Amino acid sequence: MSKPVVAIPCDFREFDGNVWHVAAHQYVRAAVEGAGLMVFLVPALEAGNDVDEILDRVDGVLASGARSNVHPSLYGREASEADGPFDPGRDATSLPLIRRALDRGVPLFAICRGIQELNVALGGTLASEIQEQPGIWDHRKPEVPDLDVAYGIRQDVVVKEGSCLAPVLGTGRVRVNSLHRQAIGAAAPRLAVEAVADDGTIEAVSVIGAKAFAVGVQWHPEYWVRTDAPSAALFKAFGDAARAYCESKAS
């Protein structure tokens, strides 16, 4: 059997006057080392990507985190400067890829921005600057130069009994590294809440009735996939789903 391939949508970024289609190394490394997959980076084009042609060639989709936010117009809100930064190319790439992957039963793992894309793609909304809401913690990434500190595992989430993540992570409390200033507002009708923080913030979801693994987490399992057991378990589950999908195509 050939090694399964995962598609990771890129971000569209500008550096020194040049524009680039980029993906953070931590997601690529986790897909290769933690899930045992090969990686196909999908350019962040506002037009020109053929979603079905892409999905014909891969065995999973990994929607990664990013510095940008989903544009509020995509979930029925007017945008303000505070909602940014935005990445129209990433939006135009990721959201159709997520929807069509679910239609076709291609395994999907959505992380940070990815879980927010998943929610918007299925008709949900996002809440901005959640740390300003009464009773909500400050989930933002600490402004420190040491990434190991910034991505430190410091917060509990509670995995619901009977959820699809329970066999992967167990039920009850799991320590994670959740770093975000936006979160799911109204959950899309097709999403089941899998885990929450103690302040009520939705930290993990799954797609109801999905044909394959279809999970989103607000935290960053990719960063500690080498050393943290829950992080490794999530990527192994995703990799196993991609291998099963690859085998089903071959047969």
Write out the H or E segment, with its range, that includes residue 95.
Answer: helix 88-104
- Rounded CA gap, 45 and 39, in Å? 18
Q: Name the catalytic one among 71, 139, 180, 220.
A: 220
Whether residue 25 lies in the annotated active site: no
- Whether the upstream peptide bond of residue 43 has omega within 30° of 0, thus cis, is no
Whether residue 53 lies in the annotated active site: no
Q: Name the catalytic one among 10, 112, 164, 246.
A: 112
DSSP 100-159: HHHHHT--EEEETHHHHHHHHHTT--EESSGGGSTT----PPP--S-HHHHT---EEEEE
The answer to whether the beta carbons of residues 70 and 89 sit under 8 Å apart is: no
Q: How many CA atoms lie within 13 A of 156 on its CB side?
A: 8
Task: Return the DSSP state at 60.
Answer: E
Task: Write down the number of H helices and E strands in the chain.
Answer: 7, 13
Whether residue 222 lies in the annotated active site: yes
- Rounded CA gap, 36 and 44, in Å? 24
Which residue is associated with the tokens 């917060």?
155
Q: Name the catalytic one among 117, 194, 203, 222.
A: 222
Residues in contact with 93: Cβ distance below 8 Å, sequence separation at least 6, in sequence order: 9, 10, 42, 43, 44, 45, 49
**Residues belonging to the active site:** 112, 220, 222
